[in-house]
């Protein structure tokens, strides 16, 4: 009678056995965790407000043509009529469901939403090959758009900085606007603000009226410098915007040196704009969205990652 012979235990066999046990145990624990500890992650259980993990529907209330290719879109919460819980500087994601792509935008409040705290606005420039911006420009009033967030890009502490310089281009003004409004609304915050705002022409300056109104209300706390590469002769300035001179051409090293606070421990410079401007001023963020080294004009002027933040 043949006797059963136990096969020799090899290292490979031991490893395979332990892997099988681990997979089984992992499956059991994962199933329990998913069904017991994560029911709140079901979209049906998410509170009726913005959520960073889930896209929720917000109704488009109105649109305002700001420039020839930029619109200000006003949305209302369809689920919760409370004030949008956004701390500066924060963004939200908007999805184009037809392409399954998303893009980040900075929600803002302007004169259109001051009397309607349950609504918020998004400044959207129309780009030919940008799916989300094309979708938003063609969304009908009353339709809903899928939005999730907010995500804080940069945390602000009142009076942490003596001065904050800001360099913005085009719709890159929105995070600056979000921060400027927040700081100037706090009478106990004494941070001084300087904004260098670059656009193609005077007619292409979004939020110009709102910025001028804030500067008039807080002349000792907010300084404005507009830059356009059209409408004025290169190398000259022309007071076409009230008392604010308009610098002709592009943001230069001389302009940054003259307008921005110097690189010190109590100063910060924020930069937001199109890729070309970012490379010129401070260098782009890495593909992983990390800040990366400070290069460009700000590097030449002695600024480092300690006092520059890319938005």
Which three-class secondary structure string do you get for the chain? Answer: CCCCCCCCCCHHHHHHHHHHHHHHHHHHHHHHHHHHHCHHHCHHHCCCCCCCCCCEEEEEEEEEEEECCEEEEEEEECCCCCCCCCCCCEEEEEEECCCCEEEEECCECCCCCCCCCCEEEEEEECCCCCHHHHHHHCCCCCCEEEEEEEEECCCCCCCCCCEEEEEEEHHHHHHHHHHHHHHHCCCCCCCEEEEEEEECCHHHCCCHHHHHHHHHHCCCCEEEEEEECCCCCCCCEEEEECCEEEEECCCCHHHHHHHCCCCCCCEEEEEECCHHHHHHHCCCCCCCCCCCCCCHHHHHCCCCCCCEEEC
On whether 41 is known to bind a ligand per the annotation, the reply is: no
On whether 59 is known to bind a ligand per the annotation, the reply is: no
On whether 123 is known to bind a ligand per the annotation, the reply is: yes
On whether 133 is known to bind a ligand per the annotation, the reply is: yes
On whether 68 is known to bind a ligand per the annotation, the reply is: no
On whether 238 is known to bind a ligand per the annotation, the reply is: no
Please state the residue numbers annotated as binding site for FAD.
Answer: 103, 123, 125, 132-133, 174
Please state the residue numbers annotated as binding site.
Answer: 103, 123, 125, 132-133, 174
């Amino acid at each position: 009678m043949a006797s059963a012979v136990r096969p020799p235990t090899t290292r490979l066999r031991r490893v395979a056995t332990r892997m099988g046990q681990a997979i089984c145990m992992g499956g059991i624990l994962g199933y329990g965790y998913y069904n017991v500890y994560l029911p709140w992650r079901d979209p049906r259980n998410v509170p009726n407000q913005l959520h960073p993990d889930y896209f929720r529907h917000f109704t488009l209330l109105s649109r305002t043509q700001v420039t020839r290719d930029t619109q200000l879109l006003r949305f209302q919460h369809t689920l919760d009529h409370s004030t949008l819980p956004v701390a500066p500087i924060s963004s939200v994601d908007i999805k184009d469901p037809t392409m399954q792509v998303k893009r980040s935008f900075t929600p803002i409040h302007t004169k259109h939403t001051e009397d309607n705290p349950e609504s918020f606005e998004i400044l959207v420039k129309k780009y030919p090959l940008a799916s989300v911006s094309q979708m938003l420009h063609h969304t009908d009033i009353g339709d809903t758009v899928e939005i999730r967030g907010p995500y804080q890009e940069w945390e602000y502490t009142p009076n942490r900085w003596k001065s904050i310089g800001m360099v913005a281009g085009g719709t890159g003004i929105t995070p600056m606007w979000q921060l400027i409004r927040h700081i100037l609304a706090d009478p106990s915050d004494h941070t001084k603000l300087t904004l260098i705002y670059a656009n193609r022409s005077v007619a292409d300056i979004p939020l110009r009226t709102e910025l001028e109104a804030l500067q008039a209300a807080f002349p000792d706390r907010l300084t404005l410098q507009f830059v356009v590469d059209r409408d004025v002769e290169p190398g000259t300035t022309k007071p076409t915007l009230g008392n604010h001179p308009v610098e002709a051409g592009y943001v230069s090293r001389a302009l940054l040196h003259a307008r921005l606070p110097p690189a010190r421990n109590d100063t910060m410079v924020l930069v937001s704009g199109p890729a070309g401007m970012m490379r010129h001023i401070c260098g782009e963020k890495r593909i992983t969205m990390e800040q990366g080294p400070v290069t460009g004009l700000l590097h030449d002027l002695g600024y480092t990652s300690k006092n520059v933040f890319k938005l």
